[in-house]
Structure 1
């Protein structure tokens, strides 16, 4: 019997008795309840970074420093572990960024786990800061409106990365450095119009399957295709609702302590 035939039979036998690898699940214990998050294998850079941070205990005792009801809850500022309720948070992480991994089939339904980021041209993610979507239930009219918002974000992204627009952006940066307020205002107006009218990209349409989910459990669709999603809550959606009801100040900072007690990788 040929060797390659024996090897094939052995492979088929082993795959029939050995379990396939399962998506990684993370238990998130908060002072408002426990959630189970499943990480996406399609975003390996974000998945592996999150696993590393969970195993290192980076998230243990951090606060949810930004909460917006009917939108999302955000955590991961490493300064929040020892911060008071009056400290300004949201600007700290571990100092590196993760390249964007924006996957078309991932969308901002309720429970989606996303990577926070600055407004950088690469859409690279914060090393530690993340958000979990609460959102709200949508109808077709709202979804159409959000589809337009998605494409506005995409137009801005592609415009800022278009080499043809570099001279204008360089001039705007130079005017800001020179503190020439009149020129800054003029160039900003010109850039706003150019990015709004930018059309050299394929416009995004919300898939019907995504629309149905948004119309049933809700979410925040305007962020689709612009932020990396790398997991979702598969147990404990009610905890998100509990977190979202916490009173906040004008900066969306909770006025009472909302804390991650611990995170761990489930076997």
Structure 2
């Protein structure tokens, strides 16, 4: 009952935060469907995933790195990106510049862009993740503020303390959207059994379509 109440509460919060944004996506999986709103204040990441959908990048894609209480990651895997770039004769490593915004943070259900260890914190072009998170304390946030040299807003603190998330990823990875319907689906996926390298033991495919209403 407590878990159901938490999910309903999170969905309500997500819906209240997503009303002003203009682009929405539908994710289809064997575990069910869920809906995502893209933030207009991270326009480059918003436009990139919309273009990727039209280019069929995410049709038949996989959630290929799953860590319970952390993230569900999908699209092109780090290993595949590294291999592809290693054999590129022109040594290209295309990335998208980070878009950090105070309104976009790693609460449960947040949609982020994966990246490697580049100093600019620029994003991979074809890798995304969803935060499934864990409990967060005031001490955690205080420590991260000192370590990262940032300041969490009252809204961020309230969200993290009430529902959890992954605040240690803030200002290191770009968040550009959030789940506003079907959060329970990604939470189910986060519990899929994996091997020691976080690969799911059974494939977890997904596809994305833009919602046009």
| TM-score between both structures, scaled by the size of structure 1 | 0.65
Change (3 A) 1:117 1:93: farther
Supply the distance in 1 between the matched residues of 2:84 and 2:77 (Cα, whole angstroms): 6
Alignment of 1:217-228 (within 5 A): 217-228=163-174
1:70-121: CA deviation from partner (whole Å, max 9, x where unpaired): 0100001179xxxxxxxx6564789521111111221100011111001101
Specify the alignment match of 2:103 in structure 1. 105
Secondary structure, counterpart of 2:171 in structure 1: coil
Per-residue CA deviation, residues 141-197 of structure 1 (Å, 9 max, x unaligned), is: 232234344x1xxxxxxxxxxxxxxxxxxxxxxxxxxxxxxxxxxxxxxxxxxxxxx
Equivalence for 1:209? 155
Secondary structure in 2 aligned to 1:50?
helix
Greater mean deviation of Cα atoms: 137-146 or 205-214: 137-146
Gap runs ≥5 in structure 1:
1-20, 80-87, 152-202
TM-score (norm 2): 0.80
2:81 and 2:118 map into 1 onto residues whose CA distance is 16
- 2:141 maps to 143
For residue 214 of structure 1, give the secondary structure of its aligned residue in structure 2: helix
- Contact 1:93–1:129 (CA under 8 A) maintained in structure 2: no
Structure 2 partner of 1:266: 211
Report the CA distance shift for 1:256/1:71 in structure 2 as closer, same or farther (over 3 A).
Answer: same
Bigger fraction of residues in strand: 2
CA apart distance, 1:42? 0.8
Contact conserved, 1:113 with 1:230, CA < 8 A, in 2? Answer: yes
Aligned 8 A contact 2:63 2:72 in 1: yes
In 2, the alpha carbon distance for the partners of 1:212 and 1:96 equals 36
Task: Report the count of equivalent residues.
Answer: 186
State the match for 1:239 in structure 2: 185
Does the CA contact (< 8 Å) of 2:35 and 2:181 recur in 1? Answer: yes
What is the SS of the residue equivalent to 2:73? Answer: strand
Counterpart of 1:38 in structure 2 is 37
Secondary structure of 2:61 counterpart: coil
Name whichever structure is richer in helix by fraction. 1
Distance 1:115 1:141 in 2: 27
Tell me, which stretches of 5 or more residues in structure 2 are unaligned? 1-19, 86-92
Q: Secondary structure at the match of 1:126?
A: coil
- Which whole-Å CA distance do the structure 2 matches of 1:27 and 1:43 have between them? 19
- Shift in CA distance, 100/34, structure 1 to aligned 2, threshold 3 Å: same
Are the equivalent residues in 2 in contact too, given 1:71–1:220 (CA < 8 A)? yes
Q: CA RMSD in A?
A: 2.1
Given candidates 93, 114, 117, the residue that maps to 1:116 is 114
Q: Please list every run of at least 4 consecutive aligned residues from structure 1 whose deviation after the TM superposition is greater than 4 angstroms.
A: 88-95
Q: CA deviation at 1:133?
A: 0.4
